[in-house]
Structure 1
Amino acid sequence: MAVADPHRVAYFTRDADGVFRGNDPARGPWSEDHCHAGPVTGLVARAAEALAGPEKMLTRLTVDFLRPLPVAGLRVEGTLIRSTRTLAATRVKVHGPNGGLCAQATTMHLVRKALAGVPTTPAAPPDFDGAVQGSFSIAEGRHDRPMFADFTEIRFPPGEDSRPGPTTLWMRTPRIVQGEDPSPIQALCPLADCGNAISRNAELSEMGFMNTDLTLQVHRAPEGRWFASQSVSYWEPTGIGMSHSVLFDRNGPVGAALQTLVLHPVAQR
């Protein structure tokens, strides 16, 4: 299937009653009825940023995924836990159509300063100009409905491809909510939740590697719509794994993402 133009679609449409209905791009690879967690994380960031206010930047978001996230509709509600001149902290919950708690998150936001001459470790982004178009790591799901990968633009830097193992790629994704321009960090969320797929150690037909959580740390607000993930996954015979990703915009690193994975071997016919 050809990749649809991400500028023409959005992951969610918000109803008059405040429910976020998942569009085709929000659908994950595991089930036609459930969302990919990345777009839902964008909804969490959206709620948290509204509570914390624009003068503070979202610097850390941790979300636990407790149940599958229904495409049929999600309610997102948040609480401002604390706000000072330096920081703000929030708690955000995501409920399904029947009221069940599907995800819960905490976030930290820090006030921006204008400091001069701050030393740092220089780091270049992955090659964008030499990157070539490709397919997302999970181009086909366990169903035949349109899904996340069908609406995601991918480019691979020289020497990279979609095969299993540690991988770096560039990604551009749709808007989070129809009719809204996402904040830079909201726009980063879909990619942040893809590390387990990007750096999978086996194909989906051999092993399930769903993440039960996501921690996104951001030290600089990303710019533009193309972001890169430099990802690696570690799997253990205990059935538990971990994925770690360094995230970039075209100017350099902007943060990191960490996922805990639950591994499910797929029975071979």
Structure 2
Amino acid sequence: MREDEAVTSYFHRLSETAFAPTEHVGGAWNPDEQHVAPVLGLLAHVIEAEHHARRPEAPLVLARASYDILGVIPMDEFEVAAPRVIRAGRTIELVEATLSHGGRAALTVRAWMLTQNDTSAMAGVTLPPMPERESLPEWAPMDVWPGGAIRSIEARREFIETGRSRCWIRPKHPLLEGEPVSHRARMLGMTDFANGIATRVAPETALYPNIDLTASIFREPAGDWFGLDTSVSFGSDGIGLTESVLSDAAGPVGTSSQTLTVRPR
């Protein structure tokens, strides 16, 4: 990207399969590496776009996305291969996409796509609701974490106890300029921030990046603000877990889970 070109999105599309990150994707553990949060949203968008183009007459919806982080992603151009259908079906599909940098696979996602049925008569949710956004104090996550991705979000957070917080976050920028992106993909592009909003220890004390993220979404989110009701647990042998209830203004829409590798500095 030219130095005089305005940075207004998380990524620029270079071709059908190639993308370039902007400064808004800089990582929290290392600003010279990409934060995976926006990348997860981009992969969900690629899967949804390919799916709708392939079967526009009866598209399915992304119900679960399971990501595996295979390595760091430099702040450099990368490729996302055309999604591959692993399990084809009229009402259920399993689709896989892989992000590569320099010929090396760095991140994969498997997404279950499901048909929609009218279940409004039996709908119900027992997951805990988020407090109203305006009731939570504004929070500056950049006071704890470095990186362009952290600076790219607005946040309101309620600290409950060590390893437990509730937070509303909103991305300040579109995922891709000039392309419509679903609210599901936008939310999936925010879920990885959960690991940084309910810290058990300061990042100066230990490294605890996640090596995966699995999210299940049972209805289409709405709006730009997404709620994360997050709990973080560390075991005694270097493995941790971050779990979140995902919400929009109308209530919970799903859950996410991240497995952590905890490494004292």
Using the size of structure 1 for normalisation, the TM-score is 0.87
CA contact (8 A) 1:95 1:101 kept: yes
Partner of 2:149: 148
Give distance in 1, aligned partners of 2:88 and 2:24: 35
Aligned residues, how many?
251
Q: Check the 8 A contact 1:20/1:75 in 2, yes or no.
A: yes
Amino acid at match of 1:195: A
1: CA distance, partners of 2:241 / 2:97: 24
> Greater CA deviation, 127-136 or 229-238?
127-136
Conservation of the 8 A alpha-carbon contact between 1:63 and 1:105: yes
Match of 1:57 in 2: 61
Residues 50-109 of structure 1 show CA distances to partners (whole Å, capped at 9, x for unaligned) of 23336211011111111101220111121122332211210110101x111101121101
- Structure 1 residues 10-35: Cα deviation after superposition (integer angstroms, max 9, x where no partner): 11111146421111111111122211
Cα deviation for residue 138 of structure 1 reads 6.3
Aligned-partner Cα distance in 1 for 2:151–2:194? 17
Q: Match for residue 252 of structure 1?
A: 251
Determine helix, strand or coil for the equivalent of 2:38: helix
**Structure 1: gaps spanning 5 or more residues:** 1-7
The whole-number CA distance in structure 1 between the counterparts of 2:202 and 2:211 is: 19
Corresponding residue for residue 238 of structure 1: 237
Aligned residue for 1:168? 166
| Alpha-carbon shift at residue 46 of structure 1 (Å) | 1.1
Aligned pairs for 1:19-38 (under 5 A) are: 19-38=18-37
Q: Provide the residue aligned with 1:82 in structure 2.
A: 87
RMSD (CA atoms): 2.0
Query: 2:161 and 2:179 mapped to 1: Cα distance?
Result: 34
Contact 2:163 2:233 in 1 (8 A): no
Q: Distance in 1 between matches of 2:118 and 2:170?
A: 29
> Which whole-Å CA distance do the structure 2 matches of 1:138 and 1:20 have between them?
30
Alpha-carbon distance between aligned partners in 2 of 1:256 and 1:238, rounded to the nearest angstrom: 25
For residues 180 and 119 of structure 1, do their structure 2 counterparts lie closer, same or farther at Cα, with a shift above 3 Å needed? Answer: closer
Residues 18/259 of structure 1: CA separation in 2 closer, same or farther (3 Å cut): same
Residues 208 and 120 (structure 1), Cα distance of their counterparts in 2 relative to 1, 3 Å cut: same
CA distance in 1, matches of 2:140, 2:151: 9
Name the CA distance, whole Å, in 2 between partners of 1:125 and 1:197. Answer: 18
Q: Please report how far the alpha carbon of residue 119 of structure 1 lies from its aligned counterpart in structure 2 after TM superposition.
A: 4.2
Amino acid at match of 1:222: P
Per-residue CA shift, 1:195-218, capped at 9, x if unaligned? 221122001111111000010110
Paired position in structure 2 for 1:111: 115
Conservation of the 8 A alpha-carbon contact between 1:52 and 1:83: no
Give 1:4's aligned residue. none
In structure 2, the residue corresponding to 1:256 is in which secondary structure? strand
1:133 and 2:132 matched: no
How much does 1:162 deviate? 9.5
Between 1:84-93 and 1:218-227, the stretch displaced more is 84-93
> Any idea what SS the aligned residue of 1:210 has?
coil
Indicate if the aligned counterparts of 2:9 and 2:174 stay in contact, CA closer than 8 A. yes
Runs (5+) with no aligned partner, structure 2: 1-6
Distance 1:119 1:12, change over 3 A: closer
Change (3 A) 1:116 1:188: closer
Aligned to 1:71: 75
Tell whether the 8 Å contact from 1:184 to 1:222 is kept in structure 2 after alignment: yes
Q: 1:147 to 1:139 in 2, by over 3 A?
A: farther
